[in-house]
A and B are shown apart, each in its own frame.
Chain A
């Protein structure tokens, strides 16, 4: 990567040292057979009707029926909401990590990464314990502070599911923003200040615009993962209906596999769109 000069001056040696392309073949073949083929098969299942003919009726109802449209809307709104909250919470933390933390930055990085390695079940269970009938929150409200006379039913509300998703995803946002903030030349901010801009103006007109790439990278990542999340919603769902939950239900109870396949394809299209945005962002950064 570092020695481009070598490549230019001695093509012969480069050829000998260059790893041959067939090395990538097993991995590519593996994914073609066990990743791409299942998705193609899934796409076929979504357009083949019960009697074996071709049909687009499932997509027609997914994209016109109010019930299904509301599910798709909830999926996108939930992911968008989680993404926006993650930006608002994550930005100050990333800023602190890069500009203010000093000798604490190692500790902060550890604290950010450690939760990423805990199981999704553990974190969901943690939220259940916090808000259970005999959990910490009810205990404080009823016994310690005496604000309420009876424990609240707090689990299974959308707010807790959203908090739990933000909890899982906000570290990705912080790390994405921090990476970009790290690369900003602080002399630009100093110049703005010397030219008379106050702190607020410097932040909004210099720092923030320069860190938009980090926000973008983090936002796509968070949106993409939130979009496909289902464990959190199964256990803390709070009555929300999203595509992953519907696929889970269609598989478990309704057993309408064709419909579940069509829903999977919609989810897949959203994911591919995010991947496309992500690649564009990376490519722009590269040039």
Chain B
């Protein structure tokens, strides 16, 4: 009897916890459909006008394009240098290889605002300055760890026998990689790329330092919009972004499994 009460209390606590977790998100989704000209809750009526308003504000559109280009570019760059590194690190057991792994993952542990601030001065010093290339470089620094971690995670759990079979049958290392290893680690590359894309797309503390008319990313424009205005456009834009994230999450779950992701995290 006592035991039932404890379980009931625990379950009630978990329900309250998810109310706390979901309320701030659901409220934004609801506000994005408001017919009111200001932010209020509950909403007086339904309308899609704030979604239309997103597309009337040119800086949002420009920034959206920059954000997508940077997120894709940084993800590709991260894969190009991160996948080979992950392949080596997943199979090596030497002490210095684990040191290299720690180093490649370390940008995740550093405050982003410090990375952004320090990179701004350093990149200006070497002539990259505030530019598309600068955004691409700094975003790759924080996207790379996601690729390395997921690809190494998948590859380490993969039996060696497939590659052994290929090499016994006479395939050279390049052929083995292309026809055996790459298809096997594809789920890791997919999942890592999606996390990398979302990380870059949502990044504000780094992008903030590289803001200019042609290099403002979406979060930077949203922040400056929010500092001056408080209207439901931000809600509408956030709702669209959430839709993108949920679709991405479902894809990750399909190809990789959410459970594995959390254990690796």
* A interface list, Cβ under 8 A from B: 1-3, 6, 13, 16-21, 23-24, 26-28, 30-31, 34-35, 37-39, 41-42, 45, 89, 92-93, 95-96, 100, 108-115, 117-123, 125-130, 132, 134-136, 139, 164, 167, 170-172, 175, 179, 199, 224, 227-228, 230-231, 234-235, 244, 247-248, 251, 257, 260-261, 264, 267-268, 271, 274-275, 278-279
Contacts and interface: CB of A to CB of B under 8 A. Distances in A.
Contact of B109 (A125, A129, A271): A271
Given A20-B88, A96-B10, A227 B119 contact: no
Given A26-B81, A118-B241, A139-B41, A251 B209 contact: yes
A18 B248 contact: no
Contacts of B242: 117-119, 122
B55 interface: no
Nearest to B24: A126
B84 A34 contact: no
Contact of B144 (A27, A122, A267): A27
5 contacts: A27-B144, A30-B141, A35-B106, A113-B249, A130-B27
Interface in B110-153: 110-115, 117-119, 121-123, 125, 137-138, 140-141, 144, 148
B111 A136 contact: no
Interface string B55-99: 000000000000000000000000011101101110110000100
Contacts of B39: 128-129, 132, 134-135
Given A3-B159, A228-B113, A175 B205 contact: no
Centre residue among A20, A24, A172, A247 by max chain B CB count within 10 A: A24
Contacts of B82: 27
A41 B114 CA distance: 12
A38 B115 contact: yes
B100 interface: yes
Given A1-B157, A41-B118, A119 B202 contact: yes
A252 to B, nearest CB: 10
Nearest to B161: A3
A96 B114 CA distance: 37
Given A19-B91, A41-B122, A118-B242, A130 B23 contact: yes
A114 B226 contact: no
Contact of B91 (A18, A26, A39): A18
Given A17-B163, A17-B167, A126-B23, A251 B110 contact: no
A268 B234 contact: no
B174 interface: no
A35 B198 CA distance: 20
Interface in B209-243: 209, 219, 222-223, 226-227, 230, 234-235, 238-239, 241-242
B22 interface: yes
Contacts of B241: 118-119, 122
B10 A179 contact: no
B256 to A, nearest CB: 12
Contacts of A20: 88
Nearest to B244: A117
Contacts of A126: 23-25, 27-28
Given A2-B159, A251-B209, A30 B140 contact: yes
Contact of B114 (A17, A24, A228): A228
B121 A248 contact: no
Contacts of A264: 111, 113-114, 117-118
B249 to A, nearest CB: 6
Nearest to A123: B24
A26 B77 CA distance: 11
A279 B98 CA distance: 11
B249 A27 contact: no
B25 A231 contact: no
A110 B249 CA distance: 9
A198 to B, nearest CB: 9
A169 to B, nearest CB: 11
B103 interface: yes
A264 B144 CA distance: 22
A37 B122 contact: yes
B236 to A, nearest CB: 11
B14 A228 contact: no
Contacts of B40: 132, 134-135, 139
A135 B41 contact: yes
Contact of B263 (A3, A108, A128, A179): A179
Contacts of A274: 109
A21 B88 CA distance: 6
Contact of A96 (B11, B85, B167): B11
Nearest to B13: A92
B13 to A, nearest CB: 5
